[in-house]
Chains A and B, each alone.
Chain A
């Protein structure tokens, strides 16, 4: 049975206008559920990083409020921030420090007692153990990204923010990272990630929020979003091109494509009846033969593009 839980992050009517006059966020309302993976999707400059920055204490909101597990991020910032781990978008590291020292530093900074066994576990989980004594400046970009994740995880946060975690990251690290994110979710950590790679959100997220020009356009469970907006198309390659659609087929959602050589039929996968059988019957009756067929399903990317292009 579904039991509504108190949201772990609750954002209310949040706006941010920078000193330059640029309005980065405009009246954002968003609740993040405990234990979910939430993907914040949006083009560059949409306000994703600003939103994360406000929740984490790096950016000051112009108006609105945020609570983290019930703690206001301004009035009760210690309690709120202690629960949050942040992996920033930029590879900002202390170049001259060793991996071990910088990760231990983060734990201390968040007020936790030193725990070498835990630091070791975090480093091993991220395949950083071999590099623990290396200076960060000698590491590759992917390794630096791992260091930032280790720093964010070492104080055992309940909420992890990943800002564009896979920007400039190779396939292997990307797979590792997703495995790590799933492990965290299984351990009860709430994960909020921003991305402009749609496939990332599609693979990982439980829920998706789309942000564009500072406004949250929609928030939906991923499956719901795919179902609602996801349509499937059946493309038939005809034996003989058609000049126009025969009147007998007007009842179907059909379009002629490729100079009449292809017929495209759009249908809803979730519907009780897709209408495919009826279409085939009518095609046979009209004497239209086809030599091949294929189906395509709209991806999150198509949905996304159609959303943010709306004026």
Chain B
């Protein structure tokens, strides 16, 4: 194992976040605060209590997920795309580091940043609404698993992307709609039966439901299904990353 090489990539990626603090931490925290002001304080007053949880608190897990999913994907995608774009990836490819070490370095850093971001948003939310966390360990586990899985997805997108537009494509046009429609702001039980069934094909539903369970003990779908979906998605991404390095897809010529 080239642990030093892995650490060099990880530290490099983490220090990149330090330079782009405004973009990687301040912006999502501000956006989340705005959601709380609009949906929690302004509109939430007029919303029914869902499953015994005030609306302002109910949306917290979904909002954290919204940020984590988009930030994991963007961050990991950018992390590997940028060296490809500038050409500095030559050094990673010519170094005595294994694909696994490269992935752990890039994806580990992106996931770490997401977890930190999630915790910051959680702390921000606690300023707006009273929060209690029923299963703190499960909450952390979901946070970490989701961050890793979507950072892997971001890594794949970063390797696939041939331009900045493609890089933005998945976070903006796929992740954000799926998260909004995946029960961030409502329980899917509130939907008409047909839409409820359609929504069950949205993988993000399982993530948000599981994460919300960790907070309030409430679920839209059984917790085991949430875990299975998260783990399944993680394995799928791992499989694709493995294939990328075996074939050199868009990394090596």
Contacts and interface: CB of A to CB of B under 8 A. Distances in A.
Interface of A: 18-19, 53, 56-60, 77-82, 84, 86, 88, 90, 92-96, 101, 105-113, 151
Given A53-B253, A57-B93, A60-B248, A111 B86 contact: no
B92 interface: yes
Interface string B1-29: 01111011101100110010000000000
Given A18-B253, A60-B252, A112 B4 contact: yes
B250 to A, nearest CB: 11
Contact of A92 (B5, B88, B98): B88
B122 interface: no
Contacts, number: 77
A225 to B, nearest CB: 30
Given A60-B253, A95-B86, A96-B19, A86 B94 contact: yes
Interface residues on B, range: 20 to 34
Given A59-B252, A60-B248, A81-B96, A110 B5 contact: yes
B94 A84 contact: yes
B169 interface: no
Of B8, B11, B96, chain A has the most CB atoms within 10 Å of the CB of B96
B165 interface: no
A110 B96 contact: yes
Interface of B: 2-5, 7-9, 11-12, 15-16, 19, 83, 86-88, 90-98, 248, 252-253
Contacts of A79: 96
Nearest to A95: B86
B8 A109 contact: yes
Nearest to A94: B88
Given A92-B87, A93-B88, A105-B8, A57 B94 contact: yes
